[in-house]
Amino acid sequence: MSSRNRNFVNTANPVLRKTAICTALSALLSAPVSMAEVLEEVVVTAQKREQNLQDVGISVTAFTGNQLRELGFTNSVDIVAHTPNVEVTGAGGGVINTFSIRGVTQNDFSAAQESPIAVYVDDVYISQNFVTGFSLFDIQRVEVLRGPQGTLFGRNATGGLVHYISEKPTQEFGGFVDVTVGEEGRQRVEGAISGALTDSISGRLSGVYNESDGLIDNRIGNDLMEQDDYSVRGQLLFQPSDTLDILVKGLYADEDSARGGYSHRVGFDGEFAKDPEATDFFGYNSGGDPFKGSYDFDGYKEVDLSALTVNVDWDLGEFSFVSITNYQDIDHKYGEDSDASPNDVYNFESDDDVEQISQEFRLSWDGERSRSVVGLYYMDIDAEYATFQSGEIFFGPGFIYDLAADQDTETIAVFGQTEIDLTDTLALTLGARLNRDEKDYTFSELGAKLYSDDFSDDDWAGIIQLDYRPNDDWLWYVGVNRGIKSGGFNMPLGPPADFSTFPYDSETLYAYEGGFKSTLWDTTRLNMSVFYYDYDDYQAYTFDGFVPLLFNANAESVGAEVELITNPIAGLEIMLGAGWIDADVDDLPSSISPSGEEDPVLAPEWSFNGLVRYSWDAFGGSIAVQSDYSWKDDHKFNLAVTPVIEEESYGLWNALVSYTSGSESWYLSVFVKNLNDEEYRSYAFDTTTFFGATEDVPGPERWYGANVRFSF
């Protein structure tokens, strides 16, 4: 289908508590339908073709650009707050980000590792975890797909994927300028302009600039968790005929921030010190405020990213052909004061240089009672990773301990999926992907090669599913999915005692899932899914002091999500949702778990989210008031559990008041984030054995801001 005909309207599906479901449904049953607003159709491309969200037998949460703005989401990881059973890691104060979906994650902070949760931007795979925490700008929608998606999206989508879709060029002239300011020197400017260059060529230029003063006050140096970055995206859409679209997109991003940062809290042998006056092993106590400390080493994050994508969409009549060619060049540098103290104990730095190319071809067609797609995929990642460790107390004055890894990854895959109408109400989906991975790996210490190896990995992913649609408003689905994630090599912080621990095997996930999607009275959507996961060679990760290790174990989990969105009366929108997970990682060595069984990281048993928004006509336009809430159960940040990396349950409130002009050209809002000023950690490392203190990543405290947007 020609991209000029694509009109995507999306609605998010955030989280909900069981009791809230009953209350909301009761209210809906008694509400006069004549007063309600009909929900807009939600169109997604979760199966690489346009479909109504309610026709897709996948657990999907989607956000529009408007919803992202109203929720105050400016970073790629912000969507976690309103997506059931989704979390994110945050090593280095959010420098290294890996999503967790249904307890499936890979929290190794090594840049050499790929996540089991794939991140895509405009159909292009983002392999490096140090650039997945990018700024959201000029975004059309975001789709979060839960469950294995390996058939259509690749060998590293075992747990699901997150897909960000940008706005595209238009023949109509238009654009916007969006400015946000807030406490702690927060400033954000976003803008875009689009229009026709000729009758057959359209262009779009968009960009964003972010700045903040720093969320952690350094008493003796530069503040930390400070942001200074910008991104620019240019697009040209060539439409030489009604059947051919060629989209050329260039992206450049630059960051020079002090994003990394840890707060300091005294602890010993995995437990926090009970004496508030206690000091770490080197005589330091930060004073108990997670946003103030003394750091002798200035943390930094520097990123230089260039990317070019060419997307060809050709309508051949009975067939549709798509080609996506992408090139990425990424330079990344990072440094942190790991002991989070004024003493020169231990500093960590990394320097990464990555080039990635990928090519995908797809051919799709519709039969009389079927819809099919076949494709070919190729990717090559040529990467050099280096770490530098220093500190007078750990290494001696002036000494820098450097380690390096060169890794080349080559992937080729063929895939296909078809949906066959067995009857007017019953459809069968069959899909498979044949994947071959090749990796060459070399590890060096102080310039001398210590280890070298390579491997080839042939595997397959597949799906078989039945969809039952008794009428236009209900969809029931049940299926089995085989997900895969390629094996790889560890990148330790020092030479291991046993070199056999360097490689780890590929993992296989058998996922059994069922669910339903329903549309009630055209004003309400209620969707629910349940799942059971059974792993072979689960890729587990633990950080024991300064011995990070990724290894194979076994795991299983069971869980569910439920999501509700309703417009019961004119002007009122309610979104509710909930997630539940019961998961275990088994067959663990006694050094990690005496019982041999642990809960996975970032897998709270329960999570609840909700949003209420009400708007009414006023002052020639409309005023809206909105409040949203997210809550997550107890969870932990490391597989080998100690009290200091267990986080208690917490909830966050946000509030917003906005005005939209009658012409919708002006939008103004004031908002507060973390209204209840909840103190919590978004991530943590247990370094009590080495420092006598933890590395904690504090969640932002309460802050206020304002936003104005002008569209033309």
450-467: pLDDT as tens digits: 999 999 999 999 999 999
pTM (predicted TM-score)? 0.93
| Residue 174 confidence (pLDDT) | 98
Per-residue pLDDT for 479 more than 60?
A: yes
Backbone φ and ψ for 36, nearest 5 degrees, come out as -85, 160
Indicate the pLDDT class of residue 92, thresholds 50, 70 and 90: confident
Per-residue pLDDT for 9 more than 60?
A: no
Report d(CA 364, CA 371) in Å as an integer: 8
Return the closest-CA partner of residue 673 out of 620, 628, 640, 708: 628
- Per residue in 393-434, pLDDT tens? 999 999 999 999 999 999 999 999 999 999 999 999 999 999
Name the amino acid, one letter, at 415.
F
| Residue 26 confidence (pLDDT) | 38
CA dihedral sign of residues 138, 142, 148, 152: negative
| Residue 545 confidence (pLDDT) | 67
**What is the average pLDDT value for the chain, to the nearest integer?**
93
| Residue 25 confidence (pLDDT) | 36
| Residue 36 confidence (pLDDT) | 66
Q: C-alpha 426: how far from its chain's center?
A: 33
Q: Average of pLDDT values for 587-595? A: 91
Look up residue 112 and give its DSSP letter. T
Indicate the pLDDT class of residue 27, thresholds 50, 70 and 90: very low
Q: What kind and span of H or E run contains 511?
A: strand 507-520
| Residue 90 confidence (pLDDT) | 85
Q: Average of pLDDT values for 242-265? A: 95
| Residue 20 confidence (pLDDT) | 41
Return the closest-CA partner of residue 588 out of 579, 578, 576, 601: 601
Per-residue pLDDT for 93 more than 90?
A: no
- Per residue in 30-89, pLDDT tens? 333 335 678 878 789 999 988 999 999 999 999 989 889 889 899 999 999 999 999 998
Backbone φ and ψ for 5, nearest 5 degrees, come out as -95, 5
Residue 340 in tokens: 């989070």
Indicate the pLDDT class of residue 1, thresholds 50, 70 and 90: very low
Indicate the pLDDT class of residue 150, thresholds 50, 70 and 90: very high
Residue length of the chain? 712
Q: What single string gives the DSSP state of each residue in 290-318? A: TTEE--SS--EEEEEEEEEEEEEEEE-SS
Look up residue 226 and give its DSSP letter. B
| Other residues' Cβ atoms within 10 Å of the Cβ of residue 232 | 15
Q: Which of 79-88, 156-165, 538-547 has the lowest mean pLDDT?
A: 538-547
| Residue 449 confidence (pLDDT) | 96
| Residue 40 confidence (pLDDT) | 78
- Per residue in 344-368, pLDDT tens? 999 999 999 999 999 999 999 999 9
Return the closest-CA partner of residue 101 out of 145, 68, 71: 145
- Per residue in 628-660, pLDDT tens? 999 999 999 999 999 999 999 999 999 999 999
**For residue 591, what are the contacts with CB-CB under 8 A and spacing of at least 6?**
544, 640
Report d(CA 349, CA 271) in Å as an integer: 27
Residue 318 in tokens: 């009975």
Q: Cα torsion for 501, 486, 509, 76, to the nearest 10°?
A: 110
Q: Average of pLDDT values for 210-223? A: 94
Q: What kind and span of H or E run contains 204?
A: strand 201-211
Place of tokens 């420098």: 95
Q: Considering the chain, what percentage of its residues have pLDDT values greater than 70? A: 95
Report d(CA 273, CA 282) in Å as an integer: 15
CA dihedral sign of residues 556, 103, 99, 466: positive
3-state DSSP call for residue 282?
coil
**Domains in the chain with CATH codes:** 3-711 (2.40.170.20)
| Residue 34 confidence (pLDDT) | 37
Q: Average of pLDDT values for 685-695? A: 95
| Residue 169 confidence (pLDDT) | 98
Q: Average of pLDDT values for 277-281? A: 98
Residue 601 in tokens: 């990281």
Per-residue pLDDT for 22 more than 70?
A: no
| Residue 29 confidence (pLDDT) | 33
Q: Average of pLDDT values for 673-696? A: 96
